Amino acid sequence: MPLMHKEDVPDFLGVRREKLEEFRKRGVEPFGGRFPVRQRAADILANYPEFEGKDVTIAGRLVAKRGHGKASFGDLQDFSGRIQIYARLNDMGEDAYELFKKLDIGDIIGVRGKVFTTKKQEITVAIDTFQLLSKSLRPLPEKWHGLKDVDLRYRQRYLDLIVNPEVKEVFLKRIKIIRAFRRFLEGRGFLEVETPMMQPIAGGAAARPFITHHNALDIDLYLRIAPELYLKRLLVGGFEKIFEINRNFRNEGISTKHNPEFTMMELYQAYADYTDMMEITESLITAVVKEVAGSMKVTYGDHVIDFTPPWAKMSMLDAVREYTGEDFSHCDPSKARRQAASLGIEVAPDAGWGNIVNEVFETLVEDRLVQPTFITGHPVEVSPLAKRNKEFPCLTDRFELFINTWEIANAFSELNDPIDQRMRFEQQLRERSRGVEEAHAMDEDYLTAMEYGMPPAGGLGIGIDRLVMILTNSPSIRDVILFPTMRPLDGR
């Protein structure tokens, strides 16, 4: 269905507006009110013996219509599915039947009638009375072509949901996934909390924020890039097991894996560490996969992803060594720079050892990690909120979970030393002074909270959208977000 030009609008609106006025002249309100729905299409179809010959009251959108003189058939679609309806002059009376014939595809109607089966054994509702609830002024996409334009599907999701039933199934599965997350976490004693979406300082992750302005306070605020620092303030306040499922906002590029607004689950557990987070991650995701997919093996594109535990575990240094042959376990930035160059990777002249190792990993290793794999031991430079590893101080007690080559989860033993945290924030400020906009800002209030004492803790973040993509075999993150961010049609 192509986008409509202004000169095309009267061609399809005119006839429908004429019908709208005709309904009004006949005393029929084309945009009706309350209609007491008592049954759903799917329930009638699934339990026909119970409904045979009985009166039912249903409502939905007219998505097909077939006229045969003194009798007409149509298809009524509600949220549960589609059912055939039958209108007959002798049953309805001449006036009502004439009004029924004037209905358009797309009109929303309420129907009262009896359930029967046709000669072709199709379960059908024979209309006694009907009520126009909302006149559709625009035609739905053509029946046989549907809504195939991907850009238009994302812009007009309401049409996508009407004409592409499989799209609704994706979002029903998304709802089921998030519900399973909550059920699992609540079963483990975690409490769901809410933290600010607008924050005076953008922190908790390395990303560019969206900036807004509060007129009454005359201050700039940032849409949060992560809830982390506020959730950890709650650890200081005495909450021990908390989680939040909500939106994050990052003012960065759009791709099949990135949307500026996305959904994350973050949790924190006092007196735990990253190994506890690894157990929770594996148990949580396998429970969700089993409930939603019914199997531990899920097909995504050309891959069959096996979620059967236990999952593979590798340190970042071991993974780099395995896939590149280079050993970076020396913490020497000069040597690391030479190694990266030998691998064809250019790094900034002042890049630290940790940034170089991370760049090599992201460039040459991530694409190899198809099956669920925990990558542990991230450099301090790229982990400013994680606790240092005691045996290898250049690294942190952290992991990322990769599935289908994508980062799905990130977790670590939380840094609870306010002195070390201040030093790392100061290092991040130096990064910002060199033009790295994604570097963390200094959050003095968070440091103050830490100085009152934050218990040792493990923290975990899981990207809901990417996991939904995998479990629904969706090629783009826009396929699993009801209303993804889009460029305006005029290109501005």
Q: How far is CA 296 from CA 176, 250, 348, 399, 428, in A?
A: 17, 32, 43, 22, 41
Taking the C-alpha atoms of residue 374 and residue 313, their distance in angstroms, rounded to an integer, is 5
Cα 111 to the chain's mean position, in Å?
Answer: 35
Cα 222 to the chain's mean position, in Å?
Answer: 21
Q: State the distance between the two ends of the chain, measured CA to CA, in whole angstroms.
A: 23
Q: Is 366 annotated as a binding residue?
A: no
Q: Is 437 annotated as a binding residue?
A: no
Inter-axis angle of helices 464-472 and 274-293, nearest 10: 40
The residue among 360, 428, 456, 419 whose CA lies nearest residue 204 is 428
Q: Which residues contact 337 (CB under 8 A, 6 or more apart)?
A: 347, 349, 351, 356
Q: Which residues contact 425 (CB under 8 A, 6 or more apart)?
A: 384, 440, 441, 442, 443, 447
Taking the C-alpha atoms of residue 15 and residue 40, their distance in angstroms, rounded to an integer, is 31
Taking the C-alpha atoms of residue 288 and residue 242, their distance in angstroms, rounded to an integer, is 19
Radius of gyration of the chain measured on its C-alpha atoms:
29
The residue among 136, 140, 159 whose CA lies nearest residue 16 is 136
Torsion sign over Cα 289, 293, 298, 300 = negative
Answer for the pair 443, 263: CB distance below 8 angstroms, yes or no.
no
| Residue ranges with strand state E in 384-437 | 398-403, 406-413
Answer for the pair 109, 60: CB distance below 8 angstroms, yes or no.
yes
Q: Which tokens in the block code for residue 408?
A: 């799905």
Taking the C-alpha atoms of residue 143 and residue 205, their distance in angstroms, rounded to an integer, is 46
| Residue ranges with strand state E in 190-234 | 191-192, 198-199, 210-214, 219-223
The residue among 179, 19, 189, 188 whose CA lies nearest residue 106 is 19
- Per DSSP, the residues of 3-16 read PPPGGGHHHHHHHH
The residue among 318, 341, 322, 438 whose CA lies nearest residue 381 is 438
Residues belonging to the binding site are: 400, 407
Residues belonging to the binding site for Mg(2+) are: 400, 407
